[in-house]
């Protein structure tokens, strides 16, 4: 059910077709890899405007705005509710913040089951923080070869 909720949330945003996922869907994350969220991440730390610099299931270049209890990709707001310990409910999906730098400039977020993942940055040009975000996502078992175009300006 979670996979179909993901399609509803991101399908329009990624300009995907309305076709359901096939039974041979391969998650973006290896389920045998360790996975964790960054416990000190709060809505307050994520509040503001971001740009997706890499993503799988979330298109690079997409503007993301976190306000109150919503997360908006472009013009489509979704409920975004803190569950604690860097974990959030985004519509019907659970999203974990796997990494957020100390100055709240770059974040690596994903659905721990491997349905989608993205790296976002306040400026859209994370520089060396992109490497750190990618390394953490890779450690947590995400297939970084499936990420969209890089923008590490």
Is 82 a domain residue?
A: yes
- CA gyration radius for the chain? 14
Q: Give the predicted TM-score (pTM) of the model.
A: 0.81
Per-residue pLDDT of the chain (153 residues; tens, 9 = 90+): 444 444 444 443 443 333 344 445 678 999 999 999 999 999 999 999 999 999 998 889 999 999 989 999 878 899 999 999 999 999 999 999 999 999 999 999 999 999 999 999 999 999 999 999 999 999 999 999 998 744 444
Instruction: Kindly report the CATH number assigned to the domain that includes residue 121.
Output: 2.40.128.20
**Number of domain units in the chain:** 1
Is 28 a domain residue?
A: no
How far, in Å, CA of 121 to CA of 49, rounded?
Answer: 9
Looking at residue 144, the DSSP 8-state letter turns out to be G
Is 152 a domain residue?
A: no
How far, in Å, CA of 89 to CA of 45, rounded?
Answer: 16
pLDDT of residue 25: 62
pLDDT of residue 148: 79
Looking at residue 146, the DSSP 8-state letter turns out to be G
Is 26 a domain residue?
A: no
- Return the number of other C-beta atoms located less than 10 Å from residue 60's C-beta: 19
How far, in Å, CA of 3 to CA of 21, rounded?
Answer: 8
Is 102 a domain residue?
A: yes
Is 25 a domain residue?
A: no
pLDDT of residue 150: 44
Torsion of CA 96, 80, 28, 36, to 10 degrees: 10
Is 9 a domain residue?
A: yes
pLDDT of residue 24: 58
Is 43 a domain residue?
A: yes
Instruction: Find the domain containing 89 and state its range.
Output: 2-20+34-146
């Amino acid at each position: 059910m979670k996979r179909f909720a993901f399609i509803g949330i991101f399908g329009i945003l990624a300009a995907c077709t309305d076709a359901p996922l096939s039974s041979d869907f391969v998650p973006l994350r290896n389920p045998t890899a360790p996975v964790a969220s960054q416990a000190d991440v709060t809505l307050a730390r994520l509040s503001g405007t971001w740009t997706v610099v890499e993503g799988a299931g979330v298109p690079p270049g997409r503007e993301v705005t976190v306000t109150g209890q919503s997360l908006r990709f472009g013009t489509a707001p979704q409920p975004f509710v803190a569950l604690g310990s860097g974990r959030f409910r985004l519509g019907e999906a659970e999203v974990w913040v796997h990494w957020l730098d100390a100055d709240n400039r770059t974040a690596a977020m994903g659905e721990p089951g491997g349905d989608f993942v993205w790296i976002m940055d306040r400026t859209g040009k994370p520089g060396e923080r992109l490497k750190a975000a990618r390394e953490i996502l890779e450690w947590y078992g995400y297939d970084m070869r499936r990420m969209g175009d890089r923008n590490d300006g």
